[in-house]
Amino acid sequence: MRILRPTRSALARAAACLRDGGLVALPTETVYGLGARADDPRAVARIYAAKGRPRFNPLIAHVPDTAAARRIATFDARAELLARAFWPGPLTLVLPARGAGTCAAARAGLDSVGVRVPAHRIARALLARVGVPIAAPSANPSGKLSPTRALDVARALGPRVDLVLDGGPCPVGVESTIVDLTGPRARLLRPGGVPVEAIAAAIGDLAAADGTIKAPGMLASHYAPRARLRLDARRPEPGEAYLGFGGLPADSAGLDLSPGGDLAEAARNLFGHLRALDRAGAARIAVAPIPSRGLGLAIRDRLARAAAPRD
Ligand code: AMP
Ligand code: MG
């Protein structure tokens, strides 16, 4: 595994590696992705193996623009509207698959496909060079904290990845919002980098995911640090580290997601701060209440799953 600065020659090398069926970790605006060509079952199998990801959990296909997305998925009027409003950006659309561009393994055998046009400059440059859709789940072992820096990927996956492109810290810091448009009613499968309120303003209210779905393990333990979490805590109890928001209580030990109470900043810091508290050896972390609006919904979703009982 090599970490490369994203020079032109590094991008050329990464593109060649992907075309040959390799695994390349790439920066996106959400988190670092573990990329492989989505049309190649062997390359896709390497993603599942490197992450220890259950085979029934489908991968999101990343493409450089909406035209490329239309080649792999069927767009209706709602999809066109959302693509125009939010792409490139942290929104994934689940749409009927057209069969081209993604292999069955990437879709976990489903006849739908999750597709996204990322906004990150390096991700887009790489996707444009490769010329095929790239499946890219977060570049971490399944169920663990998502990586927001190249170093996080190197530490968590090491030799399991061929190449890491270092694009610095991810500017959004939480995964994409996922909207399922395969049914008559749009459904929110995961809150993420695009606020749900903005999506609802564009296409009307979203139905909640109903648990019978297509997003296996959605409520199971995920995004988990080593430490145990206690949520909506106004202050730490003895023995707990504190993950604050909008100011730390007097003489508490911990980190603040955003001293000024800014949800975008908190999202950007979320995984890094949890990782830092883990590394500092915290056994238990009390987490401040986070508002349920805008990016706060995505932050609360990740925290709830980080706090969920583990097997
Ligand atoms: P990630 O874990 O960030 O790679 O996102 C993968 C998630 O995207 C899955 O767990 C599903 O929630 C969603 N997804 C991707 N592809 C599909 C699909 N074909 N049908 C339904 N959901 C999908
Ligand atoms: Mg993930």
Pocket test for ligand 1, best of 102, 214, 302 (most atoms within 8 A of CB): 214
Per-residue confidence band for 252, with pLDDT thresholds at 50, 70 and 90: confident
Here the tokens at position 92 are 């994934």
* Closest C-alpha residue for ligand 1 atom 17: 114
pLDDT at res. 212: 45
Distance CA 22, CA 141 (A): 17
pLDDT at res. 216: 43
Distance CA 81, CA 86 (A): 9
* Closest C-alpha residue for ligand 1 atom 16: 114
Give residue-wise pLDDT tens across range 133-192.
999 999 999 999 999 999 999 999 999 999 999 999 999 999 999 999 999 999 999 999
Q: Which amino acid is at 101?
A: G
Task: Name residue, tokens 């292999």.
Answer: 103
Radius of gyration of the chain (CA): 19
Residue closest to 62 by CA, chosen among 120, 4, 118 = 118
Cβ neighbours around 28 below 10 Å, total: 30
Higher pLDDT, 220 or 120: 120
* Closest C-alpha residue for ligand 1 atom 6: 59
What pTM does this model have? Answer: 0.96
Q: Which residues contact 201 (CB under 8 A, 6 or more apart)?
A: none
The size of the chain, in residues, is: 311
pLDDT at res. 311: 65
Q: How far is the CA of 125 from the centre of ligand 1 (A)?
A: 23
Give residue-wise pLDDT tens across range 197-219.
999 999 999 998 765 444 544 55
Check: CB of residue 217 under 8 Å from CB of residue 55: no
